[in-house]
Amino acid sequence: MLNLSKMPLKRKLALITATTSVVALILACTAFFWYEWRSYNKDIRSYLECISAIIAENSVPSIKSGDTEGLERILATLENEPHIIAALIRTIDGRTLTEYKSADIDDVTFPASVESGVQFTESNLMHVSMPVQADNETIAHVSLLSDARIINDQFWNYLEITLGVMALSFLVAWLLSSRLQQIITTPLLKLAGLAKQISEQKDYSVRAPEVGQDETRQLVRAFNEMLTQIQARDKILRQSEDYLKTMLDSVRAGIIMVDAHTQKIITANACAIELIDKPREEIIGKHLTEFISFNTPHPAHPETAATNHRADVQALIKRYTDKGVPALLSRARIRWRNEDYEVNSLVEISKLKQTEAALAYERDLLKSLMDNIPDMIYFKNNSGRFTRINHAQANAFNLDHPDQAIGKTEKEILGHEEHNGTDEARTLNNGIPVIGEVRRKPEPDGSPSWFSVTQVPVRNTTGIITGLVGISRNITDQKQTEESLAAKATELERSNRELEQFAYVASHDLQEPLRMVASYTELLARRYRGKLDEDADEFIAFAVDGATRMQQLINDLLTYSRVSTSGKPFKPTDFNQSLEYALANLRMTINAVNAQINHEPLPTLPADSTQITQLFQNLIANALKFHSDDTPRIHISAGLVQQQQTKTSKASREWRFAIRDNGIGIDPAFKDKIFMIFQRLHGYSEFPGTGIGLAVCKKIVERHSGRIWVESEFGKGSSFYFTIPEYIDNNGSANNKTH
């Protein structure tokens, strides 16, 4: 076997090209002739026999019926087959039933033989005969004649295939030769690519791999030896450059070296590039003033090559993303290798300016706050001397300006100590703050003034107390308002207790005489009904009805007063059980109107169980009383909601209950009136009652720190809502708890 790795390049390329061409041609010709020999005769015979069989099958009905025109139509379909020049259908005794000839044929002779199959005639025509069978008997024969055009067509196909195979063979030869030539070209291309990589990346440590035994191996060895020499020289240069670059980049100031005469940038360290905020390649070679503008005139440099000439100026580093970065620029001229250069050192001072601006803003903000706030603010050092006060404190000291108090004690200003010296000492010595302490100060006219005082220690960065800051607020008006409100609340509570006691006593004391009046009027009605005239009977009936209504009214008034006076302590109450008790009390009324009542699961909350039962009973009875013509339907539900924070209470959670019905509804204009005592929207004859039931509901809900309201439209039913806090104490106050 030939060793291609040791063969010269010319012979190697020639052998590769010849080998690939021969192999491709042999493969192409062998494949073509094998294909043609196997498929030509089989395909043409099968095609003609298929057409004959189709004509024979379709001709059976027409032959049996003697339909000559039908047979002609069948043979007329051969016009779509240009290579079939004639066709004949004849009986088994040789009689012609119909015949077809193509337009360009004048005369043609069919073989006398009707033997089935494919035959060639003397005129070099292909004759195909196919029997026509019906009921397993041959009744006719179909004969087709095909001219040589099909052979010519096949010949041209052969020619096209040959050309295609030749083209394919050439392509295969080309691909093979190209592939095999890579044995030579690949090492050379790799070597060229490696040389380009080294030129771009300056990495001289890379080596080309040695391959083969020919001239390529010698070329690679020479190339690698050259890289070794270059690498040794580059290492020395890189060490010097890295040392200098490391030293410059470690400096936290921007350093830019420029030509002393052209002011073009020669190099810049990392800090300078970061300050200018541009890539290094866009900086090197550009004029210094493209990136630095001077706030002061450019310092003059002597024409001589003097060294250590130095000047400091204010500068602005230009940036296209903002207005620039302020910096302090130090410039020094040096001489190196008989050339003059300038070294520019940049130090950014924007953070310093921002800090100064922030401190000035905070100082102005603090001054504005202290000068305009109505509270008295003061600062003291460890000695108890004022270091700063605001205008409100200066006015309290009767000073013309706050600066008049600086360095003085309170006694030196007023002649006496106004603040609690003990609290001040605890704050300064122990760091104990005074938060919101209320202090009383007598005024010259003898009236008291009240102040809320807060004092906290001031510490330095190490945590040592250096003084204190105090805020004092005059709360005399607030104190007087609180005292007035407390007195009014006490008086109102006393008045309410007396009123409730009066209502209870009055209604209780009226029971006995009222029962006597009612008894005697009923006795009078029973004994003298029908014995006097009709007017007397009517008058007696009015008296009985009035006494009964008065008795009911007094009972309701007693019930209303007992909500506050006879309430039980709050304890965990199952609202489901309270609802069941209320429904049991209303069972007769519910059955009387066939009401449908359902409810969702209800919670257990701190409450007065008896009053909760009465609350449910009054609301459900109200829905039963004011029902429409439809079957009364009542639904009770409850859900936990978050109560919104108000000026007088914090946000808390509460349960919202709903009693919905399909009754006659309420005009929204009367949604508040119905909860007032003895307020009715209907006449007594239309709907009996005293109008106190919903007022009792409102009083019960308010005792439980809840709210009650109604949402309704006239004729569309009503929804009564009331709330009970999730947590409530026995004083009726909601407790806020975090979950």
DSSP secondary structure, 337-360, as one string: TTEEEEEEEEEE-HHHHHHHHHHH
Q: Which pLDDT value is given to residue 418? A: 61
Q: Can you tell me the distance from the alpha carbon of 597 to that of 620, in angstroms, rounded to the nearest whole number?
A: 9
Round the average pLDDT of the chain to a whole number and report it. 75
The whole-number average pLDDT for the span 504-518 is 61
**Average pLDDT of 148-174?**
66
Name 184's Cβ contacts closer than 8 Å, sequence gap at least 6: 9, 12, 13, 216
Non-local (6+) Cβ contacts of 667 within 8 A are 681, 714
Could you tell me the two tokens for 185? 């070209």
Q: Give per-residue pLDDT as tens, 175-191.
A: 666 666 666 667 766 77
Which pLDDT score, from 0 to 100, does residue 656 have? 93
Q: Is the pLDDT at 18 greater than 80, yes or no?
A: no
Mean pLDDT of 501-530: 65
41 pLDDT tier (thresholds 50, 70, 90): low
**Max avg pLDDT among 148-152, 185-189, 727-731:** 185-189
Name which of 314, 312, 316 is nearest 324 in CA terms.
316
Q: What confidence tier does 600 reach under pLDDT thresholds 50, 70, 90?
A: very high
pLDDT digits over 214-240, tens only? 777 777 778 788 878 887 877 777 777
**The predicted structure's pLDDT at residue 720:** 92
Q: If you average pLDDT over residues 278-307, what whole number do you get?
A: 67
Which H or E element spans position 143?
A: strand 137-146
The segment with the largest mean pLDDT, out of 85-89, 232-236, 242-246, 705-709, is 705-709
Percent of the chain predicted with pLDDT > 90: 6
> What is the SS3 assignment for 298?
coil
Homologous superfamily of 6-166: PAS domain (3.30.450.20)
Q: What is the pLDDT of residue 201?
A: 76
Domain 569-725: which CATH class?
A: alpha beta
In whole angstroms, give the CA distance from residue 16 to residue 61.
Answer: 70
pLDDT at 510 over 80: no
Of all residues in the chain, what percent carry a pLDDT higher than 70?
A: 69
For residue 218, the model assigns a pLDDT of: 77
More confident residue, 357 or 558: 357
- CATH level 2 (architecture), domain 475-566: Orthogonal Bundle (1.10)
- Comparing 6-166 with 251-348, is the CATH topology the same? yes
pLDDT at 736 over 60: no
Q: How many residues does the structure list for the chain?
A: 739
What is the rounded average pLDDT of the residues 379-401? Answer: 87
SS3 312: strand
- pTM score: 0.35
Measured distance CA(516)–CA(522) in Å, rounded: 10
Determine the pLDDT at residue 683: 43
The whole-number pLDDT of residue 684 equals 44
Query: Mean of the pLDDT values across residues 17-38?
Result: 66
What is the band of 576 on the pLDDT scale with cuts at 50, 70, 90? very high
As a whole number, mean pLDDT of residues 266-287 equals 84
- What CATH number does the domain located at 364-472 have? 3.30.450.20
C-alpha angle 204/208/212, rounded to 5°?
A: 165
pLDDT at 739: 37
Kindly report the CA angle at 268 between 350 and 285, in degrees rounded to 5? 115
The span from the CA of 638 to the CA of 573, in Å, is 15
- pLDDT confidence tier of residue 709, bands split at 50, 70 and 90: very high
pLDDT in tens, 433-473: 888 777 777 666 667 778 888 889 999 888 899 899 888 88
Q: Which range, 14-23, 306-315, 344-353, is most confident?
A: 344-353
Q: What is the rounded distance in angstroms from the CA atom of residue 604 to the CA atom of residue 579?
A: 12
Mean pLDDT of 576-603: 90
Q: Is the model's pLDDT at 144 over the cut of 60?
A: yes
Confidence class for position 554, pLDDT limits 50, 70, 90? low
Which residue would you say has higher pLDDT here, 114 or 425? Answer: 425
- Residue 574 pLDDT more than 90? yes
With contact defined as beta carbons under 8 Å apart, do 96 and 90 qualify? yes
Joined tokens for residue 414: 């007023």
Per-domain boundaries in the chain:
6-166, 251-348, 364-472, 475-566, 569-725
Architecture of domain 251-348: 2-Layer Sandwich (3.30)
Tens-place pLDDT, residues 68-104 = 888 888 888 888 777 788 888 888 887 888 888 887 7
Residue type, 345: S
Q: Measured in whole angstroms, how far is the alpha carbon of residue 590 from the centre of its chain?
A: 53
* Banded pLDDT at 302 (limits 50, 70, 90): very low
The predicted structure's pLDDT at residue 419: 60
Q: Which is more confidently placed, 647 or 184? A: 184
Q: Region 168-175: what's the mean pLDDT? A: 67
Q: Comparing 1-15, 279-293, 632-646, which segment has the lowest mean pLDDT?
A: 1-15
Would you state the pLDDT for residue 560?
A: 60
Which of helix, strand or coil describes residue 583?
helix
- Between residues 254 and 697, which one has the greater pLDDT? 697
Asked whether the predicted pLDDT for residue 641 surpasses 60, the reply is: yes
- 3-state DSSP of 28-46: HHHHHHHHHHHHHHHHHHH
Both structure tokens of 13: 């390329």
> Is the confidence at residue 202, as pLDDT, over 60?
yes
Average pLDDT over residues 512-533: 68
Give the pLDDT band (50/70/90) at residue 266.
confident
